[in-house]
Amino acid sequence: MSLLTPTIRPSVVARLNPVAKLAVALIVSCALLLSIDWVSAGVALLLEAGLLLWCGLSARQFWLRTAPVWIAAPMAAITTVLYGEDSGALLRQFGFISVTEGSAQLGLAIGLRVLAIGLPGIVLLATTDPTDLADGLAQVLRLPARFVLGGLAGLRLVGMFIEDWHSLTLARRARGVGDGGGPRGAARRFFGPAFSLLVISVRRGSKLATAMEARGFGSDEPRTWARPSRVRAADAVLVGIGFAIAGIAIGVAVWAETWSFILA
């Protein structure tokens, strides 16, 4: 089962070690955060597009899971274009809002950067089983077992939140709670189930913590793991591809003279 759906078909990326996929996402993200220019972000996004074809997601699954990123990127770009720092020639003037060449390039860079950082992270999580991720964090990265198991238990409950929200919405609709239009009705329909879901989550978390403690998950004794997590040659290749994407993106930006180190 993946973090987002149990119906992801097996793929080359899905069979790789989750630690390697996490490392690739961090490498590319750190490289893109060193500078705010559209060339490095565009090159990285173009190189990542070829790898996304191997993720095993169908077109519908890909667009549904990455929809928030496709919405956030244009909004961030437009906001930066309209309200970013003015520099260069003036392109448009809307009252007190001015659009210049500098703000337009900065908006393009921000939008591409959101896509280049967000898309790989979502796709890699969609092809990662929570248990495999926990095995990798504990066995490869040597993180504390209590922290890893607590995180795994939390990830397993994410899917239940969606089901609880749907059930609460249907129950309130059947009782006629939160009916009515306008902002007040919309607020009731949102904050009512949200508070109920918060109460359910606290109670469920307390019961889960007690059950895990009773089963010895909080013990300080060294743990054993049912499934070994190993870093193989394919995982090293994936990490190398991540370094290559970061290096090529930075190299092309430096060659195009658009690279601007943010700490300089």
Q: 219 CB contacts (<8 Å, ≥6 apart)? A: none
Mean pLDDT of 94-112: 81
Residue-wise pLDDT tens digits, 180-225: 566 676 777 777 788 888 888 888 888 888 888 887 777 777 778 8
- From 74, 105, 76, 70, select the one nearest 91 (Cα to Cα): 105
Question: Within a domain: residue 105?
Answer: yes
Mean pLDDT of the chain: 81
Mean pLDDT of 144-152: 83
Longest CA span, the chain: 68
DSSP secondary-structure letter at 226? Answer: S
Global pTM reads 0.74
Question: Within a domain: residue 1?
Answer: no
Question: Within a domain: residue 75?
Answer: yes
DSSP secondary-structure letter at 128? Answer: -
Instruction: Tell me how many domains the chain contains.
Output: 2
Domain housing 200 = 144-214
CA angle 61, 67, 70 (to 5 degrees): 135
Cβ atoms of 189 and 181 within 8 Å: the answer is: no
Question: Within a domain: residue 178?
Answer: yes
pLDDT for residue 178: 60
Do 73 and 126 have their domain in common? yes
Lowest mean pLDDT among 33-47, 89-103, 157-171, 223-237: 89-103
Do 129 and 150 have their domain in common? no
pLDDT for residue 197: 85
Do 151 and 201 have their domain in common? yes
Do 202 and 249 have their domain in common? no
Question: Within a domain: residue 22?
Answer: yes
pLDDT for residue 211: 84
